[in-house]
Chains A and B, each alone.
Chain A
Amino acid sequence: MKPIILQGHERSLTQIVFNAEGDLLFSASKDVGVNVWFTSNGERLGTFNGHNGTVWTVAVDSQSRYLVTGSADNTMRLWDVQTGKCLKVWEFLTAVKRVAWSEDDSMILSITEQRQGQQSMLRIYSINREDPTNQSNTPINEINISTYGPKATVALFAPLSDVIITGHESGKIAKYDVKTGEEIQRTNESHFGEITDIQLSPDGTYFITSSKDKTAKLFDVETLDEMKGYVTETPLNSACIAPLRPYVILGGGQEAMNVTTTGQRAGKFEARFWHKLFEEEVGRVRGHFGPINTLAVHPQGKAYASGAEDGFVRVHWFDESYFRSRPFGDLEPEVEV
């Protein structure tokens, strides 16, 4: 497995995402740039220039036409993926921490930071796909997360896009109705630390969360029941579910502030592969020189990418042996290749 190392950022990565076909990778970082790369050879297609602060979050629609980004310059922007043009700027009073697309690409959500007397807000916007420069400034719904408890850090649209699932600073996981804006379900004891990432499974029936409490967990979308848990020895910053094979990939490492006082090994900056069902660790991929901040997996399960505090993105295309692997031998079904 030869990683492709992408060095397009000067500061640590905040989020990376693949598009639906897996041929493009979008990366956002604490410098002002957003980059898009061809995953097959690591060539950079372009940069999206315009933000004036840390870009916290990036999301691409399923047709790879529009990109939405949220930044610490208190704006959310809509971009044309093919030309890099900025189509729309929404302005807020605090930083935008998370954005996501709905399943049918007709809506986006944004989470703004709770700061300077502002509440943690979840806003849902309708996207005009025919005339992309003509977008509404007013959200179709606005949910004040702070009235329900601690602030939200991550969110995504559940399948069918009638519900939004959020992860919170306290470790709480909740569901909000897109139409009414009400909290319809919550679990307070899911995690005991800030939830750092949330990603949906390929079939959309369950999702994975990673947390600063050093665990990652699988939850049922319908009931929010905890299905599986993966306990590691470092705070986790990201987690994703690999399609095709029964693995989840977890990434994290020591807090950035402690990195300079320890070596690469002690920091545990590897991406960890865990068996999804047996909850056992099955492999590690090292290479980063700082904690992994964000992980993304190719939608067809052929590759995964990691972005870290060291400012590098590493794209790994899986070897053939990965697809034939049966780490627990006869306990697992025969693999057909």
Chain B
Amino acid sequence: MKDWTAEEDPEELPPPSETTVDGITTIITWKLDEHDRKVKVTRRVRRKMQTQNVSHTVAERRRLPKFGDDKGKATGPDRKTTIVGENIHFKVAPVSAKANEAAAEPDAPKLAAGKAVICRLCKGGHFTAKCPFKDSLAAIENVDMDDGGEAPAADGMGGILARGAGAGGKYVPPGQRAGGGAGESMYRNRDDLPTLRITSLSTDAEDEDLRELFAPFGKVARANVVRDRETRESKGFGFVSFESRRDAEKALQKMNGHGYDSLILSVSWSLPREQR
């Protein structure tokens, strides 16, 4: 007969279980919350075995017991001291003087270029024929040349100009600066960045493809394809975040309706979670 007292006793938690189906491991653990209620925690993870060949001395060191402040702690990284940061896109390529300028004043509108050479495709300082984005952008440009790609440059820029130095060079706390919200932080909220939502995307497109597709418009902070949690198959849409709003607007104009891998992309602003 089943022991009915066991269910009444909140101290007794069922043992954690782990089952693996189709390479996906379901880990069920139980814990008590602050009101001593039982909480079932289900985590579904895909485990990937990574093998690494190391020398004997390195392998031996991996088995060393912890010491000092970490004495007796379990193996594996402690979340208090170790976190994995956001993916950084690092590409080794010449950093031109022009890029340096842009970095110094990222939001300043480009002033009249005068007689300088301007690429018709990417607006860079070189001849159109030498444009590194010639292949990818030429097609895009032709799609809606008549809309006038320059139009949105002035929008949304009003307050930002005054951002760097306050009036009279006085220090202005980041929170009170025009255009800036709170100060910058190491962990940037993903809603802070101008983000585009790309739908009717080919299911073959990877994060990197998406980044490449949007890179010509400006610095892409994040590009990701939304995938099914279990099958890892693309759901046919994704998000691209730009560092600057202007670049995002440009990309929105140019890429909405652009053909990509036999599908026509639909690009719109990504709305914050609550508005969707």
Contact = CB atoms under 8 A, between A and B. Distances in A.
A93 B69 CA distance: 29
Contact of B87 (A2, A42, A273): A2
Interface string B169-210: 001001000000000111000000000000000000000000
Contacts of A21: 54-55, 57-58
A284 B71 contact: no
B164 interface: yes
A147 interface: no
Contacts of A129: none
Chain B interface SS verdict (over half):
loop
A282 B54 contact: no
A7 B83 contact: yes
Given A4-B82, A64-B61, A282-B95, A45 B87 contact: no
Given A41-B77, A47-B68, A283 B91 contact: yes
A64 B85 CA distance: 28
Given A7-B81, A8-B81, A49 B95 contact: no
Interface in B48-103: 52, 54-55, 57-58, 61-62, 64, 66-71, 75-78, 80-95, 103
Interface stretch (A117-125, A135-143, A259-267): A259-267
For chain B, which range describes its interface: under 10, 10 to 19, 20 to 34, or 35 or more residues?
A: 35 or more
B106 interface: yes
A253 to B, nearest CB: 14
B171 to A, nearest CB: 5
Contact of A2 (B64, B81, B85, B106): B85
A23 B58 contact: yes
Contacts of A64: 57, 61
Contacts of A38: 62
Contacts of B64: 45, 82
Nearest to A325: B92
Given A5-B85, A43-B76, A48 B68 contact: yes
Nearest to A41: B77
B90 A319 contact: yes
Nearest to A23: B58
A116 interface: no
Given A44-B70, A47-B70, A261-B171, A23 B61 contact: yes
A228 interface: no
Nearest to A290: B186
Contacts of A24: 61
Contacts of A287: 85, 88, 186
Counting chain A CB atoms within 10 Å of each CB, the highest count among B52, B57, B62, B88 belongs to B88
Contact of B174 (A47, A84, A263, A312): A263
Contact of A46 (B67, B75, B84): B67
Given A42-B82, A43-B78, A289-B186, A284 B95 contact: yes
Contacts of A47: 67-70
A310 interface: yes
Given A6-B81, A43-B82, A282-B95, A1 B88 contact: yes
Contact of A3 (B57, B66, B85, B184): B85
A44 B95 contact: no
Contacts of B185: 289
Nearest to A282: B92
Counting chain A CB atoms within 10 Å of each CB, the highest count among B67, B80, B86 belongs to B67
Contacts of A1: 87-90
A90 interface: no
Interface in A233-269: 247, 261, 263-266
Nearest to B59: A23
A280 interface: yes
Contacts of A148: none
A281 B186 contact: no
A46 B87 contact: no
Given A3-B85, A43-B82, A263-B184, A49 B94 contact: no
Given A4-B85, A265-B106, A314-B85, A43 B69 contact: no
A84 B67 contact: yes
Contacts of B104: 265-266
Given A2-B86, A6-B82, A64-B61, A43 B95 contact: no
A46 B70 contact: yes
Contacts of B95: 280-284
Contacts of B86: 2
B174 to A, nearest CB: 7
A39 B91 CA distance: 22
Given A82-B64, A263-B184, A282 B94 contact: yes
Interface string A16-45: 000001011000000001000110111111
A-B CB proximity, top 3 nearest: A47-B68, A325-B92, A84-B67
Interface of B: 52, 54-55, 57-58, 61-62, 64, 66-71, 75-78, 80-95, 103-104, 106, 164, 171, 174, 184-186
Interface of A: 1-8, 21, 23-24, 33, 37-38, 40-49, 64, 82-84, 247, 261, 263-266, 273, 280-287, 289, 310, 312, 314, 316, 318-319, 321-322, 325, 327-328
Given A40-B52, A43-B77, A287-B85, 7 more contacts: A2-B88, A43-B76, A44-B70, A263-B174, A265-B103, A282-B93, A283-B91
11 contacts: A6-B82, A40-B52, A44-B70, A45-B61, A46-B68, A46-B69, A247-B92, A263-B164, A264-B184, A322-B90, A327-B93
